């Protein structure tokens, strides 16, 4: 972006030198595995299975209404707006620095909320899957919080010292996801063939406003292709690598979600599956069926490996947006610097770790663990979907109008659904008040940061 294309009041000087210090470490294999571990989140499988077999249909529909549009939109926007920054740069170039910055901030904060609730899920699920001797630790709030903090910082730390090293965390995480899916699907196929299914497979989803937030969460589970756009400065030959990597990932994600949900339901009825410990319940059923306790332990280990890969991958991608904003001087100059030895935007990564850790601690005030978990998910959905409005409008301007229209309509519907509390919420007023305060806080802090950044230019 240059001064000739913008009015003086909105001009932002961009220095290309820091971006050029990023190293292109991701080929098509690493890029596909990176995308898989960032998008295919096992944490949504128990949520879907708890709602019943209609979720299998919802997974496939979600792929059509958000996964496929993103697979079309992201490569087009990367080609139109090459360079680091991804979603932030796309919106900035098409609508100006203010919408670009606030959209980046909302998205960044929304994913900062993702880290603590994902950490709680993975640690609790893994401890429960390790067996009765460990299950009581999953009820220990202090242990879950401290363990989640450790997991977040270890995962971010591996990517802090360089993508050449950190990408192996993501690669192992993606392979753990595939292995988890294979264990569940193979076990369910044998169970189905010999004993049938514990759950009647009625695939028509139930229409219930009490589950509106759940439907939005499943759609959100298919999103994430835009992470590749954030990594554009570190992809080898992005014009050839990105499109096949996104479509391979989209196909894998749809298959993984639908098949793994089916597999869990073959072993356990929906009302016996909890949203946080569903894998432990499924793993126990599989282990009992085949008289192989190691299966449940293996599931717990694979969940932990997946968690580290996802934390590292998503944290790495997210850090590229404040890095680009730092280069634009809308954030302090330190955010736009690349570490001289590790060649990573270290300040942005460290900041993400600090904010995620603080949100994890603050979210526990005044609520049970389950309700705090639900509040984090709702704030994550709001922060994640709001920037999609501008992103799909950018895609409309880029000529991808069918994909943009479908994606925008889905985004608006999911935003409406995400503010509806689940049955676990007993104090609706407190829940909605915290959600409203969190949303206002996210938007307001974004505008405040942008105004301070403009004042420095």
pLDDT score of 336 = 74
The rounded distance, in Å, linking the Cα atoms of 273 and 289 is 17
| 24-456 has CATH 1.20.1740.10 classification | yes
More confident call, 83 vs 343 = 83
The rounded distance, in Å, linking the Cα atoms of 279 and 283 is 6
Q: Answer whether residue 403 shows pLDDT above 90.
A: yes
Average pLDDT over residues 363-379: 61
What pairs with residue 26 in β-bridges?
235
Summarised one tens digit per residue, pLDDT across range 167-194 is 778 889 999 999 999 999 999 999 998 8
Summarised one tens digit per residue, pLDDT across range 91-133 is 999 999 999 999 999 998 888 777 777 887 888 888 888 877 6
What letter does residue 210 receive in the DSSP assignment?
Answer: G
More confident call, 66 vs 323 = 66
pLDDT score of 87 = 92
CB 126, CB 301: distance < 8 Å: yes
Q: 256: Cβ–Cβ under 8 A, 6 or more apart, which residues?
A: 40, 177, 178, 181
Query: Rounded mean pLDDT of the chain?
Result: 82
HSE of 244, CA atoms in CB hemisphere, 13 A? 9
Given phi > 0 = left and psi -120 to 50 = alpha, else beta, which region is 428? Answer: alpha
Q: What tokens were used for 147?
A: 């363990």
The rounded distance, in Å, linking the Cα atoms of 323 and 337 is 7
Of 153-157, 195-199, 400-404, highest mean pLDDT: 400-404
pLDDT score of 439 = 83
Which of the four pLDDT bands, split at 50, 70 and 90, describes residue 317? confident
pLDDT score of 341 = 72
The rounded distance, in Å, linking the Cα atoms of 54 and 28 is 34
The rounded distance, in Å, linking the Cα atoms of 367 and 370 is 8
Summarised one tens digit per residue, pLDDT across range 415-442 is 888 777 666 666 667 777 777 887 888 8
Percent of the chain with pLDDT over 90: 35
- Which segment of 19-23, 256-260, 426-430 scores lowest on mean pLDDT? 19-23
Q: Answer whether residue 387 shows pLDDT above 90.
A: yes
pLDDT score of 424 = 62
- Which segment of 149-153, 163-167, 192-196 scores lowest on mean pLDDT? 163-167
pLDDT score of 140 = 65
pTM above 0.95, yes or no: no
The rounded distance, in Å, linking the Cα atoms of 115 and 46 is 18
Q: What tokens were used for 124?
A: 């609790």
HSE of 154, CA atoms in CB hemisphere, 13 A? 13
């Amino acid at each position: 972006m240059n001064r000739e294309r913008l009015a003086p009041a909105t001009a932002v000087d961009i220095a290309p030198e820091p971006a050029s210090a990023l190293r292109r470490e991701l080929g098509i294999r690493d890029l596909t595995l990176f995308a898989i571990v960032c998008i295919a989140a096992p944490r949504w499988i128990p949520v879907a299975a708890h709602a019943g077999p209609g979720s299998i249909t919802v997974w496939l529909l979600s792929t059509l209404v958000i996964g496929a549009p993103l697979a079309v939109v992201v490569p087009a926007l990367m080609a139109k707006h090459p360079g680091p920054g991804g979603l932030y740069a796309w919106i900035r170039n098409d609508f100006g620095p203010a919408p670009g910055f606030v959209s980046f901030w909302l998205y960044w904060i929304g994913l900062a909320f993702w880290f603590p609730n994902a950490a709680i899920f993975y640690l609790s699920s893994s401890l429960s899957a390790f067996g009765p001797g460990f299950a009581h630790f999953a009820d220990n709030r202090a242990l879950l919080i401290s363990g989640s903090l450790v997991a977040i910082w270890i995962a971010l730390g591996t990517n802090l010292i360089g993508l050449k090293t950190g990408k192996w965390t993501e690669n192992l995480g993606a392979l753990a996801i595939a292995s988890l899916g294979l264990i569940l699907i193979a076990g369910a196929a044998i169970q189905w063939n010999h004993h049938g299914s514990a759950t009647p497979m009625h695939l028509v989803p139930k229409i219930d406003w009490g589950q509106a937030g759940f439907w939005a969460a499943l759609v959100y589970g298919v999103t994430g292709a835009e992470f590749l756009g954030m990594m554009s400065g570190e992809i080898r030959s992005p014009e050839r690598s990105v499109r096949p990597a996104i479509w391979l990932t989209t196909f894998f994600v749809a298959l993984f979600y639908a098949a793994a949900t089916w597999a869990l339901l073959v072993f356990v009825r929906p009302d016996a599956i909890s949203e946080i410990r569903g894998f432990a319940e499924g793993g126990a059923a599989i282990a009992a069926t085949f008289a192989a306790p190691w299966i449940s332990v293996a599931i717990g280990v694979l969940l932990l490996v997946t968690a580290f890969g996802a934390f590292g991958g998503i944290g790495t991608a997210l850090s590229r947006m404040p890095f680009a904003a730092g280069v634009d001087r809308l954030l302090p100059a330190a955010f736009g610097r690349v570490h001289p030895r590790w060649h990573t935007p270290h300040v942005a990564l460290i900041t993400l770790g600090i904010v995620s850790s603080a949100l994890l601690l603050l979210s526990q005030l005044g609520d049970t663990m389950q309700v705090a978990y639900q509040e984090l998910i709702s704030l994550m959905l709001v922060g994640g979907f709001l920037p999609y409005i501008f992103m799909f409008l950018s895609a409309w301007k880029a000529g991808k109008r069918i994909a943009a229209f479908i994606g925008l309509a889905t985004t608006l519907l999911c935003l409406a659904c995400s503010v509806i509390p689940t049955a676990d919420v007993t104090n609706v007023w407190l829940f909605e008040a915290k959600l409203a305060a969190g949303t206002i806080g996210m938007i307001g802090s974004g505008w405040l940061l942008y105004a301070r950044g403009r004042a420095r230019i």
